[in-house]
Structure 1
């Protein structure tokens, strides 16, 4: 395993670091000011569009997609240090580069499983950043950590599918630019194989019967920059049969293919969030005095910073190893490592951010610093793409298999 940056990665890193310093970090306060003046909080501030234009001009666009036909053609190992950098400003940077969830996963699904007509109608505008999208899987009335539990029905009726069900925490759905939903539901609820009961269909936002009912908060935040997280109801929603993605019964498999890259991308960005937290901790520690000496000379503060550095270096190596395995033996071959980083990274980064909040005192829980919002985002990722316990269960079974 060689984790040294190749020439292309190094060039992109330098370009991206410059973009962050010159444009993204200064835009954070501007974006909040502009959003406060918008007619709707879900509209996109002009500064975000300016960032997207600059990112495209610099060639920092669709870096996440390994398919050279549609994206930058980077390997996971090449993309890892770039995603980490964007994680330092998770509200703005991924969106500016057209590398924000849920669009990234939806573009991967369409690129891998979509028909040519679906790619032309929906993938191309997503790649261009002209529209946004949503992924509708999680439901409020079942334990969605087990995806076989979903109850939304997708029933064939002639040349159409009819969809009925209720979803929630559907990321991206509040954004006015969200034009298309990928919806997972059951086409064969009584099938013998519980992993072949589900299918995915494309549902345009303006389809009759699709109701975006309300925005769901996450620890009090509405996550405007990612298009929010909505409760969505489907009532006798009809779409052409041609809107089926892949084949009937293939929904569970498509979801797993989508979640593998999504999990490692989250972990890459989480490391960037932790790095920013360490930077903020150090700046605070050298600028504040308590009980007669700088916080930087307080033993407990030194311990927090040292432990955070050790933890981040460990996580980064594990994420890079996982990326390398995904590139060399595929997502299935890296299954254990993907689960390991999904367990370890959010949990550890939450702890680092919690120490940073503690160091900032009242400022740490306020809107004047990014720590509270970063903490909420990191804590949520212990649930998103599968809660810790599901991954621990699967990982333990894999470890125990040879002994049972």
Structure 2
């Protein structure tokens, strides 16, 4: 059993079954999440006998790093491989000495939003709590940020569930991961420093606020059902009237804790002055702020980015109506770490390499390779 990903009560139960008293679980928790221990032998406050028994029966399994890249602007991206061979990506976005770690909640995605390259991949499976929390721990490893620093000194100051997948389609595992991330005796992230981004899974929004108590961001991207349903198929199931009602009822929403509305700027699609005015009407009375996101193009993308002059005009219209609407400049584009680009490049490179190898094979070798390729896809080793 992997001890990473267990809640504190679950870890206490594990130690109890080993004949240990509850305070031992607190010590192990401290070593895992405060000290960042990767080996039971590092847990010097435990007896040698207990360390040996833990090592014989349990692991401290993090995702392994298949590739780490750092962009010119300092953005760092990790391609992470899990125990079954599946992969997802996490990104650190630095900002004035601090920054957010963007983590994935699923391998692949089921939403097929037309502007998102990540959405061109099939959903493979949900990530479990260990795999979600493990992404943040790998980032801590990369920056050497152990033991857990104070809020004033930590570089990895925030977590955003904005990577691959829809977090509210994996709400049980995500809620468990949030409880581990926010535990004050471990990773110690304030829930006000954790943000979940959803495409608008209306039935789960209230539960997110009630059980997790974290910040909410919503991929809005259009002011009308007609446009939103075209670029985000989920809107056909949960249209804007239902979504906005759920946001207005979000537990804890206030002017001090506003909902973030993400809005990708697509040339000729959702970027007119009329669209901006429609947004103002749509969000009337909702404590919210906008993030205007210049579209991050990718090969074969069906859209273009709105010219910056029009994005600025769009932002001014919202600002003149009293809405906060900063333009979120793309980060990590040179390593495909920007919004909507995660994982696609690694998959494409792997497929290109596979096709190149096929070209050098005989017909018999190619048939065998293609059969093996199919098995690898099915078992997740590719």
TM above 0.5, yes or no, is no
TM, length-normalised to structure 1 = 0.25
Q: Kindly indicate which of the two structures has a greater share of residues assigned to helix.
A: 1
